[in-house]
Amino acid sequence: MIVVNFKTYPEATVNDQPIKLAITCQEVFNTYHIPIILCVQATDIFKVTQSVSLPVYAQHIDPYEPGKHTGYVSALAIRQNGALGVMINHSEHRIGMELIQKNIAAAKSEGLKTLVCVENALEAETVDHFNPDMIALEDPVLIGGTVSIVANPEGKQKVEEFVSKHLQALPLVGAGVKDKEDVAVSLQLGAKGVLLASGVTLAPDPKTVLSNLCEGFAS
């Protein structure tokens, strides 16, 4: 699968840009039939889910029951707006193990899928005990860059160590993933999919980039 994180880039925020990008992802899915998950800002969940049939995830939730929690985002709220899941603990919004566990529990209480981001295999092993649906390994040094985590021996070793944990959760990899070669290598190392953001959201032609990524699943 491919997980596309829209982050808060203007290219995925301004006017109808979130919808346009989501529709592009839908078109690519319709052609290649590689599952694509969209991680969008909470404010865009409803309009994106109304525009495409792809699963839409929130980029974050807070583990609180609905009530006196002004400024927080509840699992109930994102589900009511059409989200099917949530990304937790992205490297740009790390929350620690205690909150990871609570957020997974909160998401599960609303029937939401969970994708938890980790920085290394040890974190992945701990998080796996909380029973998330997916765990994504992202090297924080490479996020947003042009060098893929699987483009050098050190990065490949990190992925191999991550996969060797034989997690119950589906193992994904991210950080610098940009083309079909990165996808193919990730799969060869044992990952089941990839997570990326800027490689798609900031691309002059996101459809071409996504199509290229999908071709990596057939390599």
Give the per-residue pLDDT at 107: 98
Active-site annotation, residues: 90, 138
Instruction: Count other Cβ atoms within 10 Å, centred on residue 124.
Output: 23
Domain positions in the chain are 2-218
Give the per-residue pLDDT at 110: 97
Binned at pLDDT 50, 70 and 90, residue 144 comes out as: low
- Which has more pLDDT, 162 or 176? 162
Phi-psi region of 87 (alpha: psi -120 to 50; beta: other; left: phi over 0): beta
Q: What sign does the dihedral 128-132-137-138 (CA atoms) show?
A: negative
Binned at pLDDT 50, 70 and 90, residue 142 comes out as: low
Rg (CA), the chain: 16
User: With pLDDT > 90 as the criterion, what percentage of the chain qualifies?
Assistant: 84
Q: pLDDT tens digits, residue range 89-127?
A: 999 999 999 999 999 999 999 999 999 999 999 999 999
From the list 192, 180, 127, 189, the residue with the least C-alpha distance to 152 is 189
- Least confident range from 54-58, 142-146, 187-191: namely 142-146
Binned at pLDDT 50, 70 and 90, residue 187 comes out as: very high
Write out the DSSP string of 39-77.
Answer: EE-GGGHHHHHTT--S-EEES------SSS-TT---HHH
Model confidence at 146: pLDDT above 70: no
Question: What average pLDDT does the segment 161-183 reach?
Answer: 92
Give the per-residue pLDDT at 124: 97
Beta-bridged to residue 138, according to DSSP, are 174
Distance, CA of 140 to chain centre = 14
Question: What average pLDDT does the segment 172-194 reach?
Answer: 91
Give the per-residue pLDDT at 145: 57
Distance, CA of 154 to chain centre = 23
pTM of the predicted protein model: 0.94
**Token pair recorded at residue 205:** 């032609």
Question: 3-state DSSP helix/strand/coil percent for the chain, to nearest 5?
Answer: 40, 15, 40
Question: What average pLDDT does the segment 138-149 reach?
Answer: 71
Q: Which fold has domain 2-218?
A: TIM Barrel (3.20.20)
Give the per-residue pLDDT at 176: 77
**Token pair recorded at residue 211:** 């199509």
**Token pair recorded at residue 97:** 């193990």
Contact (Cβ atoms closer than 8 angstroms) between residue 139 and residue 124: no
Question: What average pLDDT does the segment 85-89 reach?
Answer: 98
Give the angle subtended at the CA of 55 by the CAs of 50 and 56, to the nearest 5°: 70
